Amino acid sequence: MTHHQLPHALLAWLRGAAHIVVVTGAGVSQESGIPTFRDALGGFWSRFDPMQLATPEAFDADPSLVWGWYEWRRTQVLGCQPNAAHRAIAELASHARRLTLITQNVDGLHERAGSRDVLCLHGSLHRPYCRGCGRPHALPREAPGQAPRGQPMRPPACPACGDHIRPGVVWFGEMLPADIWAASEEAAGACDLLLSIGTCSLVYPAAALPQVAHRKGAKVVQINPEPTSLDPLAALNLRGTAAHLLPPLLRAAWPSRRPPQWLPS
């Protein structure tokens, strides 16, 4: 889609918004080569169902299996780079009067692209903590050739209490971090434009955020290749990937600004 094909109303909404909320899902990271959570696993992990590994019960039953899987996932993510969508969202923050970025992704690519104060609803692969006392745990940098090869790994012990260090993600059956959710819900209720990007809008409570914004009178815009349950609520549905649509959207909304080098011409 070229900037000539972008709806003029959307450009006006972007320029005029006092507070933009951006909610992102797995579709944004998929364009960096990161498989979605429900994609088939490879190698050693192909015999496991990720839905059964991502639970507190699985970690209690076999900490080495679960820790090894998450370390494998984390090193896979570290080998990927932020794409044009991640960088466009970071750039959008410099144009918007106020922007709140809320993500369901745990890969840290928004932060690596330059976004600040990201509200990570489902935690982060890069911020593990102690299962017992909650103390944050700093992960060592992997030496060349030392990255996990896709096998069980014994989790580190907490130096404070001796319990297992666990992945810093929200597992099935766990509550979202209360402070992150409260900030996300507050932002959705206070914004005048919400962009839902690359998410299927099926996972609650994150899927409720566009509904909160809509009830408060905000415009809801969806960017997704396929229809979702959000379609009837959205004031505008743009079909396509975020990496394809967001760069021309920024160029069209702020043509007088010199685009950064990463924006395709």
What DSSP character marks residue 206? G
Distance CA 3, CA 22 (A): 20
Q: Which residues are annotated as a binding site for NAD(+)?
A: 104-107, 224-226, 242
Print pLDDT tens along the chain (265 aa).
Answer: 444 456 889 999 999 999 999 999 999 999 999 876 655 455 555 667 777 889 999 999 999 999 999 998 898 899 999 999 999 999 999 999 999 999 999 999 999 999 999 999 999 999 999 999 999 999 876 544 455 567 899 999 999 999 999 999 999 999 999 999 999 999 999 999 999 999 998 888 999 999 999 999 999 999 999 999 999 999 999 999 999 999 999 999 998 766 555 555 4
What is Dmax (Cα atoms) for the chain? Answer: 60
Cα 156 to chain centroid distance, Å, stands at 26
What's residue 34's pLDDT? Answer: 87
Q: What are the sequence ranges of the domains in the chain? A: 1-33+82-126+176-265, 35-79+129-166
Give the integer Cα–Cα distance in Å for 217 and 81: 36
126 is catalytic: no
- Exposure b/e, 251-262, CB count within 10 A at least 16 = b: bbbbeeeeeeee
CA torsion sign, 199 to 200 to 202 to 208? positive
Q: Which of 3, 86, 95, 122 is catalytic?
A: 122
Instruction: Report d(CA 227, CA 224) in Å as an integer.
Output: 7
pLDDT of residue 171: 95
Six-digit token pair at 66?
């679960």
| CATH classification for the domain delimited by 35-79+129-166, as one of 3.40.640.10, 3.40.50.720, 3.30.1600.10, 3.20.10.10 | 3.30.1600.10
Among candidates 260, 264, 198, 207, which has minimal Cα distance to 230?
A: 207
DSSP-derived secondary structure letter, 127: -
Residues tagged in the binding site annotation for Zn(2+): 130, 133, 158, 161
Nearest partner of 2 among 249, 231, 255, judged by Cα: 249
> Which two three-digit tokens encode residue 51?
């839905």
Please name the residue ranges forming H helices in the chain.
8-16, 26-30, 50-53, 56-61, 63-78, 84-95, 109-112, 178-190, 209-215, 242-253
Q: What is the pLDDT of residue 7?
A: 83
CB 225 within 8 A of CB 241: yes
* Measured distance CA(98)–CA(190) in Å, rounded: 11
| Residue 179, burial from CB neighbour count under 10 angstroms (0-12, 13-18, 19+) | exposed
pLDDT of the residue at 3:
45
The pairing of beta strand 129-130 with beta strand 165-166: antiparallel
Q: Which of 10, 8, 55 is nearest to 222 (CA)?
A: 10
Which of 202-226 are b and which e, b meaning 16 or more Cβ less than 10 Å from the residue's Cβ?
eeeebbebbbbbbeeebbbbbbbee
At the fourth CATH level, which superfamily is domain 1-33+82-126+176-265?
TPP-binding domain (3.40.50.1220)
- Which amino acid, one-letter code, is at 163? D
Cis status of the peptide bond prior to 128, with omega within 30 of 0 = no
Task: With both helix axes pointing from N to C terminus, report the angle between 8-16 and 242-253 in degrees, rounded to the nearest 10.
Answer: 70
Q: Report the pLDDT value the prediction gives residue 76, as an integer from 0 to 100.
A: 86
Residue 42 confidence (pLDDT)? 54
3-state secondary structure of 156: coil
Annotated binding site: 70, 73, 104-107, 130, 133, 158, 161, 224-226, 242
